[in-house]
Structure 1
Amino acid sequence: MWKVDFNKRWPVKQQLLFFKTLADLLHAGFSLQQAVADIVILLPQQKKICDRIANTFARGGTFCASLKHLLDKETFNQLYIAESYGLLYESVRQLSNFLEQKEQQRQRLRAVLLYPIFLLLLITVLIIAFQVFLKPELSAFQTSSNLNLSSSNYSFFGLLGIIGGSSLGLLVVYKKYFGSKHHGYLQRVEQRCRFPFLGGLYRMYCYYYISFNLALLLKSGLDLKKICVFLSEFEHETLLFHMGEELKQVLKKGQEMDQFISHYSFIPQEFTLFLSKGNTVDELSNELMIYAQAVYVKLLQRIERLIGLVQPLLFVVVALLIIITYLSMLLPLYQNLGGMYQ
């Protein structure tokens, strides 16, 4: 049986199995309690999770409350919205689809990275072997022949400098876009959207996440003011909570929604068009749901293209490292051989 540590996050594979099965059972007409009871039969490895949920139900608690510390905050908020307004099936089905795609992409990325990483390990072993075994022999040969081997040291330390400098550069970029605590939460999200290469993917994920959850809230019949009140119940370090707080201030000041939408790049600018059409709440909800699904498909396509670029880029890096490594080994040998014939 899968061992559950309720103080840690729920593994993605286990989440996928659970939510996919739950979505199928809810779609078949089972109640939430019946579905959880049947999951124990269908997925015995999920028994502890199901027992935890059943115990929460017995105490009068909610489905989301039983999973609060097992899911990331944004996922929990999405389920909380859905359960609060009787839209759990839609949210669980979408969540299971998202987790399934995420797991497939993770497996594909692992397969793409396997061979280049293997080559990098071989290069590392080669460099270590050169420093430990070959270099002492060359040094002894240098001493007996009065030849110069110092350039190998420069090549080796130059290689270490390149690796160290690249690592330091990545650390600086990470601290700039992800590690800063001096800005507010929404400002940090805005910074992440400008992150080189991956910022566009993160921004598109925000589009999908905001659109889908806003569609759920509108589908439940809430207006903007009620949505703000509802979002204030969420965990503080989450996107929806801070958007609700910001939107609340905008409404209090009587400002236009267009200004709020255009102020942040992670909010879809299409929202301005949707809100200006004067549709009913149900029509707006349907439009946002369709938009969320369209963005979701584009997000998956962009991730697939990015994964396809990872391996060629890594092969270029591996090729450069191989050239540098061989130069660090062969140049001193050629210099020494040249010195012998002078």
Structure 2
Amino acid sequence: MRIKKRWVLKDQAIFLKRLSSLLEKGYSLNEAMKFTAIDLSEEKKQDILFCLNELSKGVLLRTTFEKLQFHSEVLSYLYFSEKHGNLEFALREGGEMLNRKMIQHEKLKKVLQYPLFLFFTIGILMYISQSVIAPQFEQIYRSMNLKQSFLTEVLFFIFRGSTFFMVFLVLLFICGLIFYVAFFKNLLPQEKMRMSLKIPLWKKFALLLNSYYFSLQLSNLLKSGLSIYESLTVFENQNLLPFFRDEAAWFIRQLKKGDRFEVLVERNEFYEKELTQVVAYGQANGHLARELYTYSQFVLERIETKMMKWIMLIQPAAYLAVGLTVLIMYLSMILPMYHMMEAL
């Protein structure tokens, strides 16, 4: 059974945080879900009843949330909680993760909203200028036997080139889509990651994301009493995150050959180099779980800082592009008229 999606990210985040808060206060999962459902809509109350009914049959919480179409990262948190036993932590972290996504999305939306509106408006004006105004000016130049000034020729060239540029962008998008469907989609997870790390602006961000998630989930598994080998086996047995599943399989194969874990992390190209030092330090002092969790929080701060930096760079870049477009529009109308007045 698959329920029609009606849990938006905001609703999911609030629900998960309330559940984790009640579990922390000593409520059982059933009691927490019933209490949380009090002020929900009738549709969501039915979803909670469905969850409770599934749980009474022995179905895993992750499976019931999957049927409600909760976010995939929330499901992965719940999967690992089944192994380390800390459901309250998984629900809290899942809710906070969704909150971070929403905050970043809202900030990006606010940054881009006005520039995108301006681009849309100017795009219409550019089309009118290119299809109506520019041809008329060119016709007047020919009828009056006037030679166009250098700046006027440049502006007309920009107008003509804008059409080819838009066609180029459309063709580039189509080629990218064909590449994804025919080639990239069929690659193994490690090959996909390796190829994505070749993108300069994305590489650092991807390394941080990989390091954060791997260190966070591994720390919780180790904290529950599992060994490194057993924790990696948990990663290997899940299908929600194919990349980490295959990564765990690679680590396990190498560990069976006698390699040390910190050496394998150092040889791995998908994580930040600092992770090697954290693993070595944690194994040396006997607190690997603690060191990995602390490191994951440091990495999370770096991810959020980097995202905010990108968002803050987008707005001035967008306004600069809008300003240049407005200047071109203005010059395209003024310069030809000025040039013709000089010729008379």
Instruction: Please classify the TM superposition score into its range, dividing by the shorter chain length.
Output: 0.7 to 0.9
Counterparts of 1:262 and 1:279, CA distance in 2 = 14
Aligned length: 336
1:107 Cα offset (Å) = 0.9
1:122 Cα offset (Å) = 2.0
Matched, 1:317 2:317: no
1:164 Cα offset (Å) = 4.6
CA deviations 1:248-303 (Å, max 9, x no partner) are: 22123333334431333332433433443464897211111111112112211221
What corresponds to 1:89 in structure 2?
88
State which drifts further: 274-283 or 39-48. 274-283
State which drifts further: 25-34 or 149-158. 149-158
* Aligned pair partner of 2:298 in 294, 298, 304: 294
Query: TM-score if structure 2 supplies the norm length?
Result: 0.83
Partner-residue secondary structure (3-state), 1:198:
helix
Q: 1:156 to 1:184 in 2, by over 3 A?
A: same
Matched, 1:19 2:16: yes
Which consecutive residues of structure 2, in runs of 5 or more, have no partner in the other structure?
none
What corresponds to 2:250 in structure 1?
246
Q: 1:41 to 1:298 in 2, by over 3 A?
A: same
Tell me how large the CA RMSD over aligned residues is.
3.3
The answer on whether the counterparts of 2:83 and 2:234 sit within 8 Å (CA) in structure 1 is no
What corresponds to 2:48 in structure 1?
50
Partner-residue secondary structure (3-state), 2:66:
coil
* Aligned pair partner of 1:234 in 238, 248, 251: 238
CA deviations 1:14-67 (Å, max 9, x no partner) are: 221211221221222211111111121033363243123112112210110112
CA deviations 1:142-166 (Å, max 9, x no partner) are: 5754567895653312123344546
The answer on whether the counterparts of 1:78 and 1:91 sit within 8 Å (CA) in structure 2 is yes
Counterparts of 1:113 and 1:314, CA distance in 2 = 8
Identical-residue share of aligned pairs (%): 26
CA deviations 1:177-235 (Å, max 9, x no partner) are: 99724642123223334423233223212211111111111112111222233223211
What corresponds to 2:115 in structure 1?
116
What corresponds to 1:100 in structure 2?
99
Q: 1:52 to 1:84 in 2, by over 3 A?
A: farther
Matched, 1:41 2:31: no
1:324 Cα offset (Å) = 3.5
Q: 1:332 to 1:143 in 2, by over 3 A?
A: same
The answer on whether the counterparts of 1:250 and 1:260 sit within 8 Å (CA) in structure 2 is yes
Which consecutive residues of structure 1, in runs of 5 or more, have no partner in the other structure?
none
Q: 1:134 to 1:219 in 2, by over 3 A?
A: same
The answer on whether the counterparts of 1:18 and 1:39 sit within 8 Å (CA) in structure 2 is yes
What corresponds to 1:256 in structure 2?
260
CA deviations 1:120-148 (Å, max 9, x no partner) are: 12211211332455356546645754567
The answer on whether the counterparts of 1:215 and 1:286 sit within 8 Å (CA) in structure 2 is yes
Counterparts of 1:213 and 1:175, CA distance in 2 = 35
Matched, 1:204 2:203: no
1:110 Cα offset (Å) = 0.8
Counterparts of 2:185 and 2:264, CA distance in 1 = 23
The answer on whether the counterparts of 1:186 and 1:242 sit within 8 Å (CA) in structure 2 is yes
Matched, 1:185 2:189: yes
Counterparts of 2:117 and 2:282, CA distance in 1 = 58
CA deviations 1:294-327 (Å, max 9, x no partner) are: 2112211221122111101111222232333344
The answer on whether the counterparts of 1:204 and 1:295 sit within 8 Å (CA) in structure 2 is yes
What letter corresponds to residue 200 of structure 1 in structure 2? K
State which drifts further: 191-200 or 172-181. 172-181
What corresponds to 1:129 in structure 2?
128
The answer on whether the counterparts of 2:279 and 2:292 sit within 8 Å (CA) in structure 1 is no
